[in-house]
């Protein structure tokens, strides 16, 4: 076929039906392979694919996010100057009042730190090695809650590392590229975290729920609490038997507890500690939970 | 399909994906984000026919899979079939009328949302279809169609421009 006669749009000679079936089979094979490969490892295709994505998408995402943030900051600043001048006058007067109040509060603060020390919430995630990261992109759909961050393999991030924000658990890394990573948040409908009520040490399963999150809650199930000691306001942290999450990370606070139909377990809602609607900067814990390579196969946390 | 078009589609696709994951998240309305990727695949498929539609769908879906898919290949498959069937409509309906592509985008997004629900939620025993319908699928459909009103003409313009150029250059050589 001479290049002059060949018209645009006609040089693909495979009929579209065959192309459709070939690509369908390819996708199904890909699904089966990713499904069967162990979750904590990268699949055979993921390495090169993630590198590709890192070249094309990650820099763009990062750029737009940076520009967007700085633009918003500048416009906010400009609009606020006039407001600030008025406010300045008012605030000067307030300072006097506050000085008096301050001395009173300082006393309260001293008392508070004393009490906090007494309460001593095993301050354990202070000494993990952490790295800060910026959220660069969110899930393209509306069904699950995952997001990308601007740190990746080159900064030492690995799959299954825990992610925090506002002192509470946000999720864990599920995919890593050279300079980006995808984080699945605990509010995502396909996320399960093994948790523990801090006051009673009862184990429960925290499950993200699309339905409930709009009301600001995530659900928990499988709480075995015979005595009914767990009540609203109790702290929920990650449990010691979790296979993917480090123990003792704050998840949130119990909001409501209901009896299940089987009268053995209880379920209910948790208010998460992290503010998922305004995630901008997160911390990734570089330490990972050490579990035996084989043998004990915990099914406590899973992906779907 | 000329190299120029493939390259152009690829660039538009990457821009669309980046916009969707960064800027459009800010415009989320009631927690729902318009599905720009789907508008892109549907527009291309409607303008260019089934083969280009299914290829574009496959590549775009794959991009979503790489970043956000739990299983590699799921969105690729879904977008590919949407591209293919919308591409089939190309021969039947192709016209300059805006109403038809927008209607097709809405229907495609509804099917996309429904397929997502059935395959990823219903199969995990989440039966509350009314909730998902009223809070995710239908709002997303309306929002996506609204975005489509602005997005589709842009894609169409770019493709017409390229097509004109190719025809002109062909004439020059012949």
pLDDT in tens, chain A (304 residues): 444 444 455 555 678 888 888 888 888 888 888 777 655 555 566 677 777 777 777 788 888 888 878 888 888 888 888 788 888 888 888 887 888 788 778 878 877 776 666 555 445 555 778 888 888 888 877 777 888 898 888 888 988 899 988 778 899 998 888 888 999 988 888 888 999 888 888 888 998 887 777 777 888 888 887 777 888 888 888 888 888 888 888 888 998 888 888 878 888 899 888 888 778 888 888 888 776 655 444 444 544 4
Cα R_g (chain A), whole angstroms: 25
Is there a contact between A16 and B17 if contact means CB atoms under 8 Å apart?
no
Within 8 A of B40 by CB-CB distance, chain A residues are none
A69: CB partners within 8 A, 6+ apart = A280
Q: Kindly identify which residue of chain A lies nearest to residue B114, measuring between CA atoms.
A: A143
Top mean-pLDDT range of A23-27, A59-63, B103-107, B116-120: B103-107
Within 8 A of A276 by CB-CB distance, chain B residues are none
pLDDT computed for residue B173 by the predictor: 60
For residue B81, the enclosing domain spans 34-169
pLDDT computed for residue B114 by the predictor: 92
Average pLDDT of chain A to the nearest whole number = 79
Domain membership flag for residue B140: yes
B86: CB partners within 8 A, 6+ apart = B41, B42, B45, B46, B53, B104, B108
Within 8 A of B81 by CB-CB distance, chain A residues are 20, 24
Name the architecture of domain A131-285: Beta Barrel (2.40)
Read off φ and ψ for residue A297, nearest 5 degrees.
-95, 95
Distances (CA, A) of A113 to A72, A101, A106, B9, B16: 37, 18, 11, 60, 51
Instruction: Give me the number of domains chain B comprises.
Output: 1
Q: What are the structure tokens assigned to A98, written together?
A: 């506050």
**ipTM beyond cut 0.90:** no
Q: What are the structure tokens assigned to B35, written together?
A: 């599905």
Top-confidence residue, A10 or B49: B49
pLDDT computed for residue B80 by the predictor: 93
Q: Kindly report, residue by residue over A268-295, the tens digit of the pLDDT.
A: 899 888 888 778 888 888 888 776 655 4
Read off φ and ψ for residue A249, nearest 5 degrees.
-85, 130
Q: Is the pLDDT of residue B159 over 70?
A: yes
Distance from CA of B66 to the nearest CA of A (A): 7
Best of A12, A23, A45 to substitute, by most chain B Cβ atoms within 10 angstroms, is A23
Top-confidence residue, B138 or A114: B138
Rounded mean pLDDT of B87-111?
86
Rounded mean pLDDT of B14-20?
87
Domain membership flag for residue B5: no
Is there a contact between A190 and B70 if contact means CB atoms under 8 Å apart?
yes
Between chain A and chain B, the number of residue pairs with CB atoms below 8 A apart is 155
Strand-pairing partners, residue A196, are: A203, A237
pLDDT computed for residue A298 by the predictor: 47
Asked if residue A196 lies in contact with residue A202, where contact means CB atoms within 8 angstroms, the answer is yes
Q: Kindly identify which residue of chain A lies nearest to residue B82, measuring between CA atoms.
A: A20
pLDDT computed for residue A233 by the predictor: 85
Domain membership flag for residue B145: yes
pLDDT computed for residue A119 by the predictor: 57
Q: Residues of B numbered 90-129 whose beta carbons fall under 8 angstroms of chain A's beta carbons: which are they?
A: 116-117, 120-121, 124, 126, 128
Within 8 A of B80 by CB-CB distance, chain A residues are 20, 23-24, 27
Domain membership flag for residue B7: no
Residue B74 buriedness (CB in 10 A; 0-12 / 13-18 / 19+): buried
pLDDT computed for residue B94 by the predictor: 66
Least CB-CB distance to B22: which of A24, A53, A68?
A68
Name the band, by pLDDT with cuts 50, 70 and 90, for residue B1: low
pLDDT computed for residue A72 by the predictor: 80
Read off φ and ψ for residue B112, nearest 5 degrees.
-60, -50
Read off φ and ψ for residue A121, nearest 5 degrees.
-75, 100
Q: What are the structure tokens assigned to A79, written together?
A: 């609009």
Q: Residues of B numbered 17-76 whose beta carbons fall under 8 angstroms of chain A's beta carbons: which are they?
A: 17-23, 25-26, 31-33, 35-37, 48-52, 54-55, 58, 63-64, 66-68, 70-74, 76
Share of chain B above pLDDT 70, in %: 95
- SS3 call for A170: strand
Q: Is the pLDDT of residue B57 over 90?
A: yes
Within 8 A of B64 by CB-CB distance, chain A residues are 140-141
Asked if residue A285 lies in contact with residue A183, where contact means CB atoms within 8 angstroms, the answer is no
Phi-psi region of B31 (alpha: psi -120 to 50; beta: other; left: phi over 0): left
Top-confidence residue, A124 or B70: B70
Within 8 A of B23 by CB-CB distance, chain A residues are 64, 68
Nearest to A300 by CA among A146, A194, A163: A194
Is there a contact between B74 and A31 if contact means CB atoms under 8 Å apart?
yes
pLDDT computed for residue A118 by the predictor: 55
Within 8 A of B55 by CB-CB distance, chain A residues are 19, 23
Distance from CA of B14 to the nearest CA of A (A): 7
Within 8 A of B25 by CB-CB distance, chain A residues are 137-138
Residues B86 and B95: their CA atoms lie apart, in Å, by 14
Domain membership flag for residue B67: yes
Average pLDDT of chain B to the nearest whole number = 85
């Amino acid at each position: 076929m001479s290049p002059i006669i060949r018209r645009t749009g006609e040089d693909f000679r495979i009929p579209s039906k065959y192309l459709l079936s070939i690509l369908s089979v390819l996708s199904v094979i890909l699904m089966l392979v990713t499904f069967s490969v162990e979750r904590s490892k990268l699949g055979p295709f993921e390495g090169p694919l993630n590198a590709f994505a890192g070249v094309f998408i990650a820099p763009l995402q990062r750029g737009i996010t940076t520009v967007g943030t700085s633009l918003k900051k500048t416009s906010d600043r400009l609009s606020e100057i006039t407001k600030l001048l008025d406010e300045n006058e008012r605030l000067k007067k307030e300072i006097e009042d506050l000085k008096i109040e301050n001395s009173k509060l300082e006393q309260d603060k001293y008392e508070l730190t004393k009490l906090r020390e007494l309460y001593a919430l095993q301050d354990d995630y202070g000494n993990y090695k952490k790295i800060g990261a910026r959220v660069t992109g969110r899930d393209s759909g509306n069904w699950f809650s995952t997001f990308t961050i601007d740190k990746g393999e080159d900064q030492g991030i690995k799959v299954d590392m825990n992610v925090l924000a506002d002192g509470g658990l946000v999720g864990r890394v599920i995919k890593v590229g050279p300079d980006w990573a995808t984080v699945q948040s605990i509010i995502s409908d396909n996320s399960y975290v093994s948790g523990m009520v801090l006051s009673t040490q009862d184990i429960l399963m925290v499950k993200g729920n699309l339905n409930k999150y709009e009301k600001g809650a995530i659900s928990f199930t499988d709480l075995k609490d015979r005595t009914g000691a767990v009540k609203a306001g109790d702290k929920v942290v990650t449990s010691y038997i979790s296979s993917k999450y480090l123990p003792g990370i704050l998840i949130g606070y119990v909001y409501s507890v209901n009896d299940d139909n089987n009268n053995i377990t209880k379920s209910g809602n948790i208010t998460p500690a992290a503010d998922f609607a305004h995630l901008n900067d997160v911390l990734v814990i570089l330490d990972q939970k050490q579990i035996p390579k084989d043998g004990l196969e915990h099914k406590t946390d899973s992906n779907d | 399909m000329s190299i120029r078009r493939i390259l152009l589609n690829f660039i538009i696709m990457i821009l669309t994906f980046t916009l969707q994951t960064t800027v459009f998240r800010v415009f989320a309305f009631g927690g729902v984000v318009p599905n720009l990727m789907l508008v892109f695949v549907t527009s291309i498929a409607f303008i260019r026919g089934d083969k280009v539609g299914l290829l574009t769908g496959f590549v775009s879906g794959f991009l979503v899979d790489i970043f956000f898919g739990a299983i590699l290949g799921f969105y690729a498959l879904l977008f590919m079939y949407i591209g293919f069937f919308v591409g089939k409509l190309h021969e039947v309906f192709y016209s300059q009328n805006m109403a038809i592509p927008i209607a097709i985008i809405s229907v495609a997004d509804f099917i996309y949302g429904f397929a997502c629900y059935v395959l990823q939620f219903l199969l995990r025993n989440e039966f509350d279809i009314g909730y998902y319908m009223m809070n995710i699928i239908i709002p997303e459909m309306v929002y996506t169609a609204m975005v489509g009103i602005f997005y589709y003409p842009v894609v169409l313009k770019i493709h017409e421009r390229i097509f004109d150029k190719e025809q002109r250059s062909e004439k020059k050589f012949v």
